[in-house]
Amino acid sequence: MISLVASRDGGTTLTEGKVAAGFSGKRTAELVGITYRQLDYWARTDLIRPSLADAQGSGSRRSYSYQDLLELKVVKTLLDAGIRLEMVRDVFSYLRENLGADVASANLVINGSSPLLVSGEEIIDLIHKGQGVLNVLPLAGVKEELDNAIIDLFPSAEDRIQATG
Amino acid sequence: MISLVASRDGGTTLTEGKVAAGFSGKRTAELVGITYRQLDYWARTDLIRPSLADAQGSGSRRSYSYQDLLELKVVKTLLDAGIRLEMVRDVFSYLRENLGADVASANLVINGSSPLLVSGEEIIDLIHKGQGVLNVLPLAGVKEELDNAIIDLFPSAEDRIQATG
DNA sequence: CTGTGGCATCACACCGACGTAGTTTCACCA
DNA sequence: TGGTGAAACTACGTCGGTGTGATGCCACAG
């Protein structure tokens, strides 16, 4: 399990120790590498909503958690791999129902519309018994890319990213 | 390498030994499990064209080879797995340029837009070094399903399907 | 307490990948 | 050697997933 203690949106200045409110919509899009329009569309259509503060009409602000960013990055990675958004929706709704929110390490394996979280060893079995298409995504790489993007934008926030699992 | 010696479209009757002209559009769609509209669209947009006889205007007939059916079934399987047609196009154009037409056994592995044909053992390496999404499709299963569909429609054609590799 | 920058929202357009319906034209059978 | 059924073609509609402004509105700075 991995968590970011503090982010750098809102807050009067770049004061150390300030626990910010999360990531704004625009910043989230930047960090994840998607357009604001995509982020907006995905929120409206219930793919991924900001867990810290949802929109409440014009002028309000969405606020995304670090966990949200991770999930968004997973979506983006799957899209880049040529997977349809519809399938991504199925995957996430399934994961949310059948697993905790700790979609963190391990590998995401998609077979049809029933995804799994498995270790590297277990994947081999799946391939040998493999019927149909197997989509394999190592989540560690996703986290790494995201953290690099964050550090790239906020160099001093480096120490705030802590590995707990 | 796997080849079907004779099919069962055209030809006066079900005469044994008759080497037919291939599979008609409608039959091809049935056997592969797609709609005629999809088959038509894919032909028009240069995804997969009938290699035995292309269309020559209204009233003409397309004629698909067994190899065509295999490729069409691969496309269908990838689509069912939630992969966008655009990615499928990239995969096939790459395979046609960098490999022979013997897209037969082995496993199809897609990493970005540069697919590979590898054995079961080699896949393990790819996963360990895995960056990004890996799409794995065992082609043996695809052929099996196609052959079953053909035998299902033409029971007496069973002996005409020969494995040569 | 108020002005305004920034964010959500809206309206419109667009493109790929088809579905549906109607039309044209050939291939094959009688 | 025709007729005709079936296959290719055309036209039009649709839906998801965006891009592109324009507009409305609130949160926060001052």
What is the reported pLDDT for A7?
46
What is the reported pLDDT for B41?
98
Across chain B, mean pLDDT equals 82
Element (H, E) at A92: helix A85-98
For residue B13, name the pLDDT band (cuts at 50, 70, 90): very low
For residue B95, name the pLDDT band (cuts at 50, 70, 90): confident
Q: Which of A20-34, A150-164, B2-16, B126-140 has the highest mean pLDDT?
A: A20-34
Q: Is strand D within 7 Å of residue A164 (CB)?
A: no
For residue A97, name the pLDDT band (cuts at 50, 70, 90): confident
Contact assessment for residue A92 and residue A47, using Cβ atoms and an 8 Å cutoff: yes
What is the reported pLDDT for A107?
86
- pLDDT tens for A118-161 read 877 788 888 777 678 999 998 888 999 999 999 988 776 555 55
Q: Is strand D within 7 Å of residue B22 (CB)?
A: no
Q: Using a CB-CB distance cutoff of 8 angstroms, which residues of chain B are in contact with residue A138?
A: 127, 130-131
**Percent of chain B, pLDDT > 90?**
54
What is the reported pLDDT for B104?
55
Bases of chain D within 7 A of a CB of the protein? 5-10, 16-20, 23-29
Identify the burial level of B79 via C-beta atoms within 10 angstroms of its C-beta, where 0-12 means exposed, 13-18 middle and 19 or more buried. Answer: middle
User: Integer distance in angstroms from CA B22 to C1' D4?
Assistant: 23
What is the reported pLDDT for B6?
43
What mean pLDDT do residues B54-68 have?
96
What is the reported pLDDT for A31?
97
User: Integer distance in angstroms from CA B55 to C1' C20?
Assistant: 22
Please state the domain count of chain B.
1
Residue B162's identity, in one-letter code, is: Q
User: Integer distance in angstroms from CA B45 to C1' C28?
Assistant: 29
Q: Regarding predicted confidence, which is higher, A153 or A50?
A: A50
Residues of B with CB under 8 A from a CB of A: 77-78, 80-84, 86-88, 90, 107, 110, 112-113, 120, 123-124, 127-128, 130-138, 141
For residue A162, name the pLDDT band (cuts at 50, 70, 90): very low
| CA B43 from centroid of its chain's CA atoms | 13
CATH number at residue B110: 1.10.1660.10
Contact B133 A134 (CB under 8 A): no
| CA gap B136, B140 in Å, rounded | 12
Sheet holding A114-118, edge to edge: A114-118, A107-111, A134-138, B134-138, B107-111, B114-118
Residue B34: is its pLDDT beyond 60? yes
Q: Using a CB-CB distance cutoff of 8 angstroms, which residues of chain B are in contact with residue A130?
A: 136, 138, 141
User: Integer distance in angstroms from CA B67 to C1' C29?
Assistant: 30
Residue A39: is its pLDDT beyond 90? yes
Residue B132: is its pLDDT beyond 60? yes
Q: Regarding predicted confidence, which is higher, B8 or B65?
A: B65
What is the reported pLDDT for A66?
94
Q: Regarding predicted confidence, which is higher, A81 or B123?
A: A81
Residue A17: is its pLDDT beyond 70? no
Across chain A, mean pLDDT equals 81
Q: Which range of residues forms the domain containing residue B125?
A: 2-163
Nearest to A129 by CA among B14, B155, B140: B140
Identify the burial level of B60 via C-beta atoms within 10 angstroms of its C-beta, where 0-12 means exposed, 13-18 middle and 19 or more buried. Answer: exposed
What is the reported pLDDT for A157?
56
Residue B122: is its pLDDT beyond 90? no
Contact B112 A81 (CB under 8 A): yes
Residue B10: is its pLDDT beyond 60? no
- pLDDT tens for A72-94 read 999 999 999 999 999 999 999 98
What mean pLDDT do residues B60-77 have?
96
